[in-house]
Amino acid sequence: MTLLRLAHLDIEGLVMDGQLRSLRDQFCTHNWSRLLYNGLFFTPEREFLDNSILFSQKNVSGTVRILCFKGNAYVLGRASKTSKLYSVEEAR
């Protein structure tokens, strides 16, 4: 699961806008955790937060190459066909 999380966060950095990631991390993730901690799983607020998180993930897809060496994991590369915030053609 640690490797999957590392890969997911890395591909998010490629396809997701930084402001959207910040908004999701500051608002949705924190409040979702608080609702679960307080036992409020079956509430409309939790459903709203779930849908917000799912919406933020709709373009997150791609391939991440990871090297595992002596108990550490290193991202070697990433690629996505859905949405790229960085374009090699436009950088030239």
E strand or H helix at 76, and its extent?
A: strand 72-79
Domains of the chain: 2-91 (3.90.1260.10)
Task: Quote the pTM value.
Answer: 0.76
pLDDT band at residue 91 under the 50/70/90 scheme: low
pLDDT score of 80 more than 90: no
**Can you give the pLDDT at residue 67?**
95
pLDDT tens, position by position, 8-45: 999 998 888 889 889 988 899 899 999 999 999 999 99
Q: What is the 3-state secondary structure (H, E, C) of 44-71?
A: HHHHHHHHHHHHHCCCCCCEEEEEEECC
